Amino acid sequence: MLHQIEGAQAIAHAVAMCRPKVVCAYPITPQTHIVEKLGEMVHAGEVENCAFINVESEMAALSVAIGSQASGVRSYTATSSQGLLYMMEAVYNASGMQLPIVMTLGNRTIGAPLNIWNDHSDAMSARDAGWLMLFAETNQEALDLHIQAFKIAETVGCPVMVCVDGFILTHAYEGVDLPTQDAVDEFLPPYNPDVRLDISNPCAMGMMVSPEYFTEVKYLAHLRQQNALKIIDQTAKQFAQKFGRESGGLVRYYGDPNADTVIVAMGSVIGTVKDVIDELNAAGGKFAILTIVSYRPLPVEEIRAALSNAKRVIVLEKAFALGRGGVLAQEVELALMPFSGEFLSVIAGIGGRPITRTLLRQFFTQETYPEKTTFLGLNHKVVDIMSRME
């Protein structure tokens, strides 16, 4: 049955149905509604044996989750933007210790200048932190990915960050299908890790590793991430079987199977791109979109298979590396090498700037592209005024 609820609430319901034992909350826009709703549910006794802990910072939020997960219970927290940066030391620590924490990242840009709106700069800051990173396209997928995330995390032995576009998804009311608790229980078995803080089997966790072992530790972590490609794919298939809908996985292809132009993107912008592609293809165009759901690990083989026959690849992303350009673009370009077609990078939707169908249509149908990297909708008048002020 479809429920007309806010994205944040859909996520909270999904997390609650996964029966976490510890939920840590610290406010930062735009993820806050998720933990607010979870607090309400925990305090009402709707989540069994669960502690809801209001902490004093994001550093503490993830650190509490590290302590509880290491003590053998399913743990969850959520953050955004500056909050992710503030907890970054613990982000690396959680993955280094192979703790399968699930965290929602309500995607928001990073200041200065201060800006609370959506883009993917925060996620990109954590791209090398050793977490699995999944991007949701819709509120339904955000809900579904959280249920899958706990299973993936616990199977792989690695934390999962579920990236959900701030405001565009977190604050949007959409019809979502809430699965039954029984179905979630059948899909996600109880969490019983072999290694935890346990007096019957005392062990030391978080030891110091010197140069003679460090490379091996990191290499094994890399292999686990490579192996996660299979687990993420498998989990999406199991999910589809159990819940009767496609969600998650590694990548999704939509549009003309023999497209000349393939757009690559992540997150909620996919919906807008699909609409534009539908229009263009109806008018005789040959367009498609490749959605990357799993950004970490990056499914290089799947990306290559989907793009290698395209005449033009356009990577559309909501983040970029100052002084270099698109981040996802670099990774996709590297995955495609050698690529004989045209390769374009589009930076769009930074700091909450709307990505409209008009802007996309204009860009996708341009005759030629003078620049390899384009800032979509860049207002040159404003640039001129600001540069004169500097």
Contacts to other proteins by CB under 8 A: 21-22, 24, 49-51, 53-57, 59-60, 63-73, 75, 89-90, 93, 97, 197-199, 202-210, 213
Least separation in angstroms between residue 160's CB and other proteins is: 18
Closest CA to 110 of 133, 77, 81: 81
The residue (of 26 and 320) whose beta carbon lies closer to other proteins is: 26
Least separation in angstroms between residue 86's CB and other proteins is: 10
The residue (of 189 and 354) whose beta carbon lies closer to other proteins is: 189
Least separation in angstroms between residue 146's CB and other proteins is: 20
Least separation in angstroms between residue 49's CB and other proteins is: 5
How far apart are alpha carbons 116 and 105 in whole angstroms?
13
Q: Is 51 exposed, middle or buried (0-12, 13-18, 19+ CB in 10 A)?
A: middle
Find out whether 329 and 371 touch, Cβ atoms under 8 Å: no
The residue with tokens 């049955």 is: 1
The residue (of 125 and 308) whose beta carbon lies closer to other proteins is: 125
Find out whether 82 and 140 touch, Cβ atoms under 8 Å: no
The distance in angstroms from the start CA to the end CA of the chain is: 56
Find out whether 42 and 84 touch, Cβ atoms under 8 Å: no
The residue (of 101 and 273) whose beta carbon lies closer to other proteins is: 101
- For the record, the structure tokens of 306 come out as 């989907």
Residue 150 corresponds to which amino acid?
A: F
Least separation in angstroms between residue 360's CB and other proteins is: 43
The residue (of 63 and 107) whose beta carbon lies closer to other proteins is: 63
Find out whether 294 and 229 touch, Cβ atoms under 8 Å: yes
Least separation in angstroms between residue 159's CB and other proteins is: 13
The residue (of 63 and 139) whose beta carbon lies closer to other proteins is: 63
**What are the backbone dihedrals phi and psi of residue 13, each rounded to the nearest 5 degrees, phi first?**
-60, -40
Least separation in angstroms between residue 202's CB and other proteins is: 4
Least separation in angstroms between residue 105's CB and other proteins is: 19
The residue (of 112 and 207) whose beta carbon lies closer to other proteins is: 207
Q: Is 325 exposed, middle or buried (0-12, 13-18, 19+ CB in 10 A)?
A: middle
Residue 242 corresponds to which amino acid?
A: K
CB atoms within 10 A of CB 367: 4
List Cα–Cα distances, 338 to 166, 260, 263, 389, in angstroms.
36, 17, 18, 43
Find out whether 104 and 162 touch, Cβ atoms under 8 Å: yes
How far apart are alpha carbons 309 and 253 in whole angstroms?
13
> How many CA atoms lie within 13 Å of 244's alpha carbon, on the beta-carbon side?
6
The residue (of 57 and 365) whose beta carbon lies closer to other proteins is: 57
Least separation in angstroms between residue 190's CB and other proteins is: 11
The residue (of 70 and 142) whose beta carbon lies closer to other proteins is: 70
Q: What angle do CA 75, 77, 79 make, to 5 degrees?
A: 160
